Chain A
Amino acid sequence: MRITVTVDGTKYSDDVEPRQLLVHYLRERLGKVGTVVGCDTSNCGACTVHLDGHSVKSCSVLAVQADGSEVTTIEGLARDGQLHPVQQAFHDNHALQCGFCTPGMIMQSIDLLADDPDPDETAVREGLEGNLCRCTGYQNIVRAVRDAAAKMSGGAGPEAERVGESQQVAGGGN
């Protein structure tokens, strides 16, 4: 099946097997290996990307379902050499150790902030429930998300993420 997908601002047109998972399309066909696979039951969230601005577990989406859509991965967040504020906050708050869950955790955090720009601790914890981390005990991840929330003025979400003429930086950069 032929699909056309815009990933991190670049348009790709490819023949794919109908059964191919989006995460495998991203990793194996496009070389977007920043997005990783951590489980096979959609519990861990390591493969989280944005599909038309909303977070999805890309192990639970077929590549063909992404036809005509825009996908943003961890590799497409930085703008003009500037990290996304959530990426920066993960660094600033030591919110990662081995870093394997980090791409999915960051993508989910951005989605969470799009829904709730000023989440309290409980809201962050519940909003990240579908993303597992084995290293950090989550405390610094929660801290990072709340730190990013405080620093982001314009919010997150589909509008902020679209790579359009304005080259808008989600949250205004940092």
Chain B
Amino acid sequence: MTATIEPEVGRARLRKEDARLIAGRTRWTDNLTLPGLLHMAIMRSPLAHARITRVDVSSARQLPGVIAVFTGADLADEQGSLPCAWPITEDMLSPNAPSIAVDQVNFAGEAVAVVVARSAYEAADAIEAIDIDYEDLPVVLDMEAAVADGADLVHADLGTNKSATWVFDSAEAGTGSEVEEAIAGAEVLIERTYRQQRLIPAFMEPRSVMVDPTGEQFTLWSATQIPHILRIMLAMTLSVPEHKVRVIAPDVGGGFGGKLQVTPEEVLTFLVARRLGKPVKYTESRSESILAAHHGRDQLQKLTLSARRDGTVTGLKVELLADMGAYLRLVGPGVPILGAFMFNSIYKFPAYRFVCTNVFTNKTPTDAYRGAGRPEATFAIERLMDELAAELDLDPVAVRERNWIRHEEFPFTTVAGLTYDSGNYEAATARAKELFAYDALRAEQAQRRERGDTVQLGIGTSTFTEMCGLAPSRVLGALAYSAGGWEHAAIRMLPTGKVEVVTGSSPHGQGHETAWSQIVADQLGVPFEDVEVLHGDTQSSHKGMDTYGSRSLTVGAIAVVQAADKVKAKAAKVAAHMLEAAESDVEFAAGAFRVRGAGADATSVSIQDVALAVFAAHDLPEGVEPNLDSEATFDPENFSFPHGTHLCAVEVDTETGRVRIREYVAVDDVGRVVNPLIVEGQVHGGLAQGIAQALFEEAVHDESGTLTTGTLADYLVPSAADLPNFTTDRTETPATSNPLGVKGVGEAGTIASTPAVVNAVVDAVRHLGVSDVQMPCTPLRVWRAIHTGQTDAGGLGGEAGGGLGSMGGTQ
């Protein structure tokens, strides 16, 4: 076999995954079917908070095709409580979390009955025939009101709407000084309250689950990011033995954290299939997905930054309220805590205090959404740095430069207690300014202001970092997360020299099959095409912690590298035997073993030759097992800290409030790059979601707790026409925390871009007296900020969604 000469890592390989996806040869869960498959539909509560007083399913049961109808009462004894794996404090309050409401509903969209029928249409018909009476309870929606004395309660039995309060204080932790002293002695104080609106992950593939109870094991297919965690959690929640559950994540159409969940729908499909002894499938509609799949963000951030008049920051105090919605989902309580370590970002704050209270409301539960805690933190600090610059009449980039960690100061332990391994903020910023033509745009901005143009230009900066590659198990343990953060991989050498790579990472669009193939091709010297990547089935990929938190490459791929090392170590013994040399005299390069120093023409044994020899096992060295297959589990010592500088120029029409992104430059440093094409794609998509938070998207509830942005007509996921062309580039500062030097990239674009855009919007109209516009910066809000000074949404339910549905009349 010809070994690869040019390294695969670093090549812009086109993706292996594409061949099926562009031809429609797909395995989405909803595509799958089984003999006698039944279809489940869910009736959902239209009310946000109510007692269920009467349920009548008798008519529904009579309808054609209906096999069974179940209410909460029917399933109460076996449904358990949906798991929350992140009890952030010892005294955290966590209500019982049923998959189907039994006597009370706590958010609009909660399941109240399920129908199983021969077809999906018949199941939907039967839902219409169910009659449920409710008795209204007071609705708790606003977080500040929810934590006030005498507030109405979401869960009366808890006695409060506060789930937990989590504190980090640098003076107490010994990582910095006392923040109140810094504030008391401040030459400049910047005090702001920012709102992280509620967002909806809006993965393109609606969630779907199918359960087959007819085999020896229960087999559950699900559109999930976390097949391995799901299997464990189903076992623990439903008292079904773990070895009797097999979970398969087939093709999964996006996740963005939205499929990092153990869902009520998965539990209900399982329970119903088990009860009936027949395979059952449930696929949500988009409206159900928007309403009932977990939401993201939703924080109120009270911020105090102290500084000297030269722009040097001296302290940062963060007081958060985080909306959990009606229940604590899988990692929901920990999401704001992931942000706790990131508010100080790349800056050398001497003092820092973070306090977060998690709050219950009668809304859809929140949980991870791309970035999970870190976009919120990055938004806050990057907005504050621009506000500090404005206050001191300094250039926003100069203020950042005064405070950031210089490249020669790495590794650097921050005031939040993390050690950043590497970075070069100077290099990324210099490159971004160059690509952006920063000075020329500043000059144009000045001219437009001077002329009083109706369309003003604004420039926004975001010099972000983030912690990702969610891993170090001991750190996660210290944060009271219930599981570890390792990842597993195995490599199987087939007799013909082909290679199967088993990974515990679980892709849903990222391109693992391509990237892992590139890595293994280099490690073993085999052709890229000869590598098959197996994932997402707990039977074949039996061990894993799945994909989220930009962890696949920095954790999962390192396990692959380590497994490859073990394969090579085993193969070396056999190869030495075949070469009649001592193992210590044999070296491995470009896929072949040779006697060291024997020259290129000397006899060599390829790894494929070794694989075949091991398969035959006729002549192996004494004591050598006939098996090259190897596995490894990697648990890194540290997080990964990608960083970058994003610059955004917007044009704001001061007469209409319309914002147009004119230029967006993103220079990211994600360490060594395995596949630049995939990295660029991840950045593009991340930017789109971060920009969407800044300008378009918001989950809005009216005063009764009804979600008014319940369709894609109202919840404005941007289209191609809404987004600009991005200019992207990279600097490359290798991570020192893993052998590939890689950092995570999946969340970077989303984390960085939101403040860059909002900073640009505010910058465009700051001279008109505007210092903030709440997200999303819709034309209405921008116009109001300019003309009335009002920056917020006009209160709860005061403004309909920013989507097409509500703007249609004025456009």
A residues contacting B by CB (< 8 A) are 17, 19-20, 24, 27, 32-41, 43-44, 46, 73-75, 77-78, 83, 87, 90-92, 94, 96-103, 106, 121, 124-126, 128-142
Q: Do A100 and B684 have beta carbons less than 8 Å apart? A: no
From B509, B681, B725, give the contact of A99 (CB < 8 A). B509
A98-B287 in contact given A83-B22, A90-B18, A125-B720 (Cβ < 8 Å): no
What CA separation (Å) do A140 and B12 show in the bound complex?
Answer: 14
Q: Do A135 and B717 have beta carbons less than 8 Å apart? A: no
Interface residues of B in 673-714 (CB under 8 A from A): 677-678, 680-681, 684-689, 711-713
What CA separation (Å) do A24 and B30 show in the bound complex?
Answer: 11
Interface residues of B in 185-214 (CB under 8 A from A): 202-206
CB proximity of B374 to chain A, nearest CB, Å: 19
What CA separation (Å) do A136 and B23 show in the bound complex?
Answer: 18
What CA separation (Å) do A34 and B18 show in the bound complex?
Answer: 13
What CA separation (Å) do A38 and B286 show in the bound complex?
Answer: 7
A39-B720 in contact given A33-B26, A99-B21 (Cβ < 8 Å): no
What CA separation (Å) do A73 and B373 show in the bound complex?
Answer: 41
A134-B203 in contact given A99-B251, A121-B725, A129-B719 (Cβ < 8 Å): yes
A103-B24 in contact given A38-B204, A126-B721 (Cβ < 8 Å): yes
- What would 7 A/B residue contacts be, using CB atoms closer than 8 Å? A39-B206, A41-B712, A90-B22, A91-B22, A97-B510, A137-B688, A140-B681
Chain B positions within 8 Å of A90 at CB level: 18, 22
What CA separation (Å) do A128 and B720 show in the bound complex?
Answer: 6
CB proximity of A93 to chain B, nearest CB, Å: 9
Interface of B is mostly: loop
From B120, B713, B720, B721, give the contact of A41 (CB < 8 A). B713
Q: Do B712 and A43 have beta carbons less than 8 Å apart? A: yes
Interface size on B, residues (CB 8 A): 55
Interface contacts beyond A97-B509, A98-B254: sample of 19 additional A-B pairs, CB < 8 Å, sorted by A? A38-B206, A73-B24, A91-B15, A94-B14, A97-B681, A98-B205, A98-B252, A98-B509, A99-B18, A99-B22, A106-B22, A128-B721, A132-B204, A133-B204, A134-B254, A134-B689, A137-B723, A139-B726, A142-B725
Q: Do A92 and B14 have beta carbons less than 8 Å apart? A: yes
Q: Do A94 and B204 have beta carbons less than 8 Å apart? A: no
What CA separation (Å) do A96 and B509 show in the bound complex?
Answer: 8
Interface centre among B121, B252, B684 (most CB of A within 10 A): B684
CB proximity of A81 to chain B, nearest CB, Å: 11
Chain B positions within 8 Å of A38 at CB level: 204-206, 286
What CA separation (Å) do A78 and B687 show in the bound complex?
Answer: 33
What CA separation (Å) do A24 and B687 show in the bound complex?
Answer: 34
A39-B711 in contact given A97-B685, A125-B721 (Cβ < 8 Å): yes
- Interface membership of B516, Cβ < 8 A: no
Interface centre among A24, A33, A77 (most CB of B within 10 A): A33
Give B92-128 as 1s and 0s: 1 = Cβ < 8 Å from A's Cβ atoms: 0000000000000000000000000000110000000
Q: Do A39 and B286 have beta carbons less than 8 Å apart? A: yes
Chain B positions within 8 Å of A103 at CB level: 24
Q: Do B19 and A91 have beta carbons less than 8 Å apart? A: yes
Q: Do B22 and A137 have beta carbons less than 8 Å apart? A: no
Determine the residue in chain A with the shortest Cβ distance to B25. Answer: A34
What CA separation (Å) do A121 and B725 show in the bound complex?
Answer: 9
- Interface membership of B626, Cβ < 8 A: no
Q: Do A138 and B18 have beta carbons less than 8 Å apart? A: no
Q: Do A97 and B23 have beta carbons less than 8 Å apart? A: no
- Interface membership of B17, Cβ < 8 A: yes
A100-B254 in contact given A41-B711, A44-B286, A135-B204 (Cβ < 8 Å): yes
- The 10 A-B pairs with the shortest beta carbon distances in the complex, nearest first, are A34-B24, A98-B509, A99-B21, A100-B253, A137-B688, A137-B684, A39-B286, A43-B712, A74-B24, A33-B31
What CA separation (Å) do A97 and B511 show in the bound complex?
Answer: 7
Chain B positions within 8 Å of A37 at CB level: 30, 206
- Interface membership of B282, Cβ < 8 A: no
- Interface membership of B285, Cβ < 8 A: yes
A99-B17 in contact given A34-B25, A128-B719 (Cβ < 8 Å): yes
B residues contacting A by CB (< 8 A) are 14-15, 17-26, 28, 30-31, 120-121, 202-206, 251-254, 256, 285-287, 508-511, 677-678, 680-681, 684-689, 711-713, 717, 719-721, 723, 725-726, 749
Q: Do A136 and B684 have beta carbons less than 8 Å apart? A: yes
CB proximity of B584 to chain A, nearest CB, Å: 44
A132-B28 in contact given A92-B14, A98-B509, A100-B254 (Cβ < 8 Å): no
From B21, B286, B510, B687, give the contact of A102 (CB < 8 A). B21
What CA separation (Å) do A148 and B803 show in the bound complex?
Answer: 32
CB proximity of B6 to chain A, nearest CB, Å: 20
From B15, B28, B681, give the contact of A36 (CB < 8 A). B28
CB proximity of B718 to chain A, nearest CB, Å: 8
Q: Do A100 and B205 have beta carbons less than 8 Å apart? A: yes
Q: Do A134 and B684 have beta carbons less than 8 Å apart? A: no
Chain B positions within 8 Å of A98 at CB level: 203-205, 252-254, 508-509
CB proximity of B472 to chain A, nearest CB, Å: 28
Interface centre among A92, A98, A133, A138 (most CB of B within 10 A): A98
What CA separation (Å) do A19 and B256 show in the bound complex?
Answer: 34
CB proximity of A60 to chain B, nearest CB, Å: 13
Chain B positions within 8 Å of A128 at CB level: 719-721
Chain B positions within 8 Å of A75 at CB level: 23-25
Q: Do A138 and B688 have beta carbons less than 8 Å apart? A: yes
Q: Do A132 and B719 have beta carbons less than 8 Å apart? A: yes
What CA separation (Å) do A103 and B22 show in the bound complex?
Answer: 6
What CA separation (Å) do A33 and B686 show in the bound complex?
Answer: 29
Chain A positions within 8 Å of B509 at CB level: 97-99, 135
Q: Do A134 and B26 have beta carbons less than 8 Å apart? A: no
Q: Do B204 and A34 have beta carbons less than 8 Å apart? A: no
Chain A positions within 8 Å of B688 at CB level: 134, 136-138
A91-B18 in contact given A98-B204, A101-B204 (Cβ < 8 Å): yes
What CA separation (Å) do A46 and B206 show in the bound complex?
Answer: 11
Chain A positions within 8 Å of B287 at CB level: 40-41
Determine the residue in chain A with the shortest Cβ distance to B258. Answer: A134
Chain A positions within 8 Å of B510 at CB level: 97
What CA separation (Å) do A32 and B23 show in the bound complex?
Answer: 11
What CA separation (Å) do A129 and B26 show in the bound complex?
Answer: 24
